[in-house]
Amino acid sequence: MPTTTAPADYHLHTSFSIDCKMSMEAACDEAMRSGLPEICFTEHVDFVREDESTGYFAPDAYFAEIARCRELFKGRLTIRAGAEVGESHRFRVVQDKLTRDYPFDFILGSLHWVGADTVMEPTYFAGQSRAQAYGRYFEELLLLARTGDFDALTHLDAPKRYEFPTHGAFDSSEFAEEIREVLNACIERGVGIELNTGSMRRTEGDPSPSPEVLGWYRDLGGEILTLGSDGHRPAHLAHEFDRALAMIRAAGFTHLTTFDKRQPRLVRIG
C-alpha cells in the first residue's frame, strides 16, 4: 500500500458552492503550502426546492476549472472532482443524470433536510424534544444510507452543530442503536463514512462523527473512511488533521480511502 505523510482532504468547497467565495486555485495553493498530496472539491449539489443552493452548481464551469487547475498544478498535487449531494435518496433520477453526464471521482452523501425542515439551523429543534428531532433525523438518514448514490456519508450527526448553543454537547450513546443501524447500512452496501473536522471549528470541538462512533464503525467491520475539513476558506484546509488522525488510529484504522472515478483506493496512514 502507498504511504503518505499527510492525508488527503476530501471535503472542500469553493466559489462553485453558494456558501463559499474561495477560488479553486487559492485552495490548491493552500494545499501545496499545507503539504497535502491530494484534495477533492466537493461542491454543494442540492435539489430541495427550499434550499438556497438548489440550481447554483454549474457543472460545465466547474469541470473546466478543475481541468485548468489540474494543468496548473500538474505533478505537484492530485485534484479530484467531487460533489456533496444532498438528499440523494429523494432525487436519484436527477442525480443519476448528473453523474452520467460528468466524470466525478467522488460523491459525498449529505442530509440537510428532513421533509420540509432544514437540520442546518437551530430552529430545527424548536417545538420538538431532542428525542423527536434526532429520531426524525436518523430515520431519514437511514433511508439515505440504504438507497442514496454516494461513496461516503458526510457529517452523519450534523444537527449537533446547531443544537449545542441551547442543549449542550451531543452524546452519541443516546442514539447508539440508530447510528449503528446507519453504519451497518453503509457497510452492507460497500460505501463509507467521512470524519469531518469542520465540527471541530465550531463550539462543540468534536469531529463529526465522534471518536466513539468511529470505533463502532470499525468494530462493525467498516473499512472505507475519508477525512475532510469541510473547508470554505484557505485556513480551513487540513484543519485539526493531526488530532483527527490520532482519533482514527485509536479507533483501529490503518488506512484512509481516496477515490478515482468513484473507485476506492486504500492509502496507509503515515
Q: Give the domain ranges of the chain.
A: 3-269
Q: How far are the Cα atoms of 14, 209, 228, 244, 257 from residue 239, in angstroms, in the given order?
A: 16, 15, 9, 9, 18
154-199 pLDDT per residue, tens: 999 999 988 877 777 889 999 999 999 999 999 999 999 999 999 8
Give pLDDT tens digits for 18-49. Answer: 999 999 999 999 999 999 999 999 999 999 99
Predicted local confidence at residue 4, as pLDDT: 42
Taking the C-alpha atoms of residue 27 and residue 41, their distance in angstroms, rounded to an integer, is 9
Closest by CA to 125, choosing from 159, 84, 97, is: 159
CA atoms within 13 A on the CB side of 133: 23
Question: How far is the C-alpha of 218 from the C-alpha of 212, rounded, in Å?
Answer: 10
Do 112 and 119 touch, CB atoms closer than 8 A? yes
Q: Where are the alpha helices (DSSP H) in 39-193?
A: 59-72, 92-101, 130-147, 160-167, 176-189
The domain defined by 3-269 folds into TIM Barrel (3.20.20)
Cell 496548473 appears where? Answer: 72
pTM: 0.95
